[in-house]
A = this chain, B = another copy of it.
Amino acid sequence: MSVPAVIPFKPKNPKSRLSCVLESHEREMFAEMMLSDVIAAVREGGCEPCILSTEPYSFGDVPVFASAAGLNEALNSYLAGKDSPTLIIMADLPLATGEAVERLTSPGTDMAIVPGRGGGTNAIYLSRGSRFRVDYYGASFLKHAKIARDRGLSCRIIDSFRLHTDVDEKEDLVELLIHGRGKSREYLESLGFSLSIEKGRVGVVRER
């Protein structure tokens, strides 16, 4: 039986820190393309995706649960009833691959965490969902590591830059244009984005 992978998603006004380079409707489309890349990776890694959305939303044949509750509340009430393996993975990880997801979901421990850049948590695998509770925002990686210790759960930190790289800011688009293989990279390129190199530093430019 494949592991369910819950992907929290915000369809309206997502990725506000990209406002400097993307219009509002482009940010919505870009967020959806990243979600699509994550769904593909999750499936390739042998998991069954479902979307936890902040509002009514549909995405092909992927089940969507809409919840107006905060991220932590929504996830913790979901986890409370789960005695089987569960994956929680963020929607802004367009470099994710099936291989990386497989490493994450076969840790040989009670759980596994992928730290995000800047102290966040990009993914959590739980061999038994109900034994854990999430606490996102701020330095959530440290909070999650502590919750694991406090509950006596063995925890592996997954060493993957593909799952570590969450796309929030303009600089992160460099990583996507270099390492992306999916729809979100294609979408960026269709908007006229490409790499630029100035004084040895790599950035992105948009041709309009």
Listed in ascending order, the chain A residues whose CB lies under 8 Å from chain B are 97, 99-100, 115, 117-120, 137-139, 141-142, 157, 159-165, 171, 174-175, 178-179, 195, 197, 200-202
Contact = CB atoms under 8 A, between A and B. Distances in A.
A161 B115 contact: yes
A175 to B, nearest CB: 7
Main SS class of interface, A: mixed
Given A100-B159, A137-B200, 9 more contacts: A97-B159, A117-B175, A118-B201, A118-B202, A141-B178, A159-B160, A160-B160, A161-B163, A164-B164
Contacts of A171: 118
**Looking at A119, A137, A171, A175, which has the most chain B CB atoms within 10 Å of its CB?**
A119
Given A164-B164, A174-B118, A174-B119, A139 B179 contact: no
A195 B160 contact: no
Contact of A178 (B119, B165, B175): B119
By Cβ-Cβ distance, the 8 closest A-B pairs, closest first, are A119-B202, A161-B164, A161-B161, A138-B197, A159-B160, A139-B202, A159-B162, A137-B200
A179 B139 CA distance: 12
Contact of A200 (B138, B157, B160, B165): B138
Nearest to A145: B178
Contacts of A175: 117-118
**Looking at A142, A164, A171, A197, which has the most chain B CB atoms within 10 Å of its CB?**
A164
Contacts of A138: 197, 200, 202
A54 to B, nearest CB: 17
A67 to B, nearest CB: 20
**Looking at A137, A141, A161, A175, which has the most chain B CB atoms within 10 Å of its CB?**
A161
10 contacts: A118-B202, A119-B178, A119-B195, A137-B200, A138-B200, A139-B178, A139-B197, A157-B179, A159-B162, A160-B161
